[in-house]
Amino acid sequence: MINLAVAIRALAEANAHVVVIGGMALRLHGSSYITQDVDFCFEQTRENARCIASALKPYAPRPRGLSKDLPFVFDAQFLMSSDIITLETTLGDIDLLATVTGIGRFREVDSLAETITFERFSIRVLTVDGLIIAKTAANRPKDLPGLVELKAIREFRAEQGEI
């Protein structure tokens, strides 16, 4: 299980531009969805890649599935090399996506995010509506239960006058 508080603190302290997306975002909105990792959409700029590399380096990030025998350097250049980066760290699995299906790159994702306080740190999290857009566009069977919950959360919040 991911140590979300430590990951968020590290990224927040490094001033990294990220938005929590995926299963952990569902959880932060009150869903019962169970996930073992955390997904972030990240702004894929050199400066932000340096911030993320600096924040996560103490947690021994390596591409998931890469043999321990192979050398690996986690740095800004690596973060600039791909739109989807799946890492194993001492905190747990962390996925970094430069593009979110159905929404677009960081700027578009961030426009559909809200700021929440988690363990004394501010973090951007994709809204319920943003998650519905992304999960619908991904069109994966594993997302169907989460979509049902997201729609119920949205309906409940509307009934409560929250949206």
What integer is the mean pLDDT of 146-159?
92
- For residue 1, name the pLDDT band (cuts at 50, 70, 90): low
Residue 163: is its pLDDT beyond 80? Answer: no
Give the residue carrying structure tokens 């979300």: 4
Residue range 64-123, pLDDT digits in tens: 999 999 999 999 999 999 999 999 999 999 999 999 999 999 999 999 999 998 888 889
Q: What is the mean pLDDT of residues 112-139?
A: 93
Predicted pLDDT of residue 32? 85
Q: What is the pLDDT of residue 116?
A: 92
Could you give all domains of the chain from N- to C-terminal order, each with its CATH number? 4-159 (3.30.460)
- Averaged pLDDT, 136-160: 92
Mean pLDDT (whole number) for 8-28: 94
Query: How large is the average pLDDT for residues 14-35?
Result: 92
Residue 21 in tokens: 């997306």
Listed in sequence order, the residues at least 6 apart from 159 whose beta carbon sits closer than 8 Å to its beta carbon are none
Sign of CA dihedral 100, 60, 37, 124: negative
Say yes or no to pLDDT of 17 above 70.
yes
Q: Which pLDDT tens digit goes with each residue over 25-70?
A: 999 998 888 888 899 999 999 999 999 999 999 999 999 999 999 9
Residue 83 DSSP label: S
Q: Output the CA–CA distances (angstroms, integers) from residue 133 to 5, 51, 64, 152, 156, in the order listed.
A: 26, 28, 27, 15, 18
Nearest to 44 by CA among 12, 91, 84, 9: 84
Judged by DSSP in three states, 84 sits in strand
Q: What is the mean pLDDT of residues 128-139?
A: 95
How wide is the angle at C-alpha 58 spanned by C-alphas 55 and 64, nearest 5°? 90
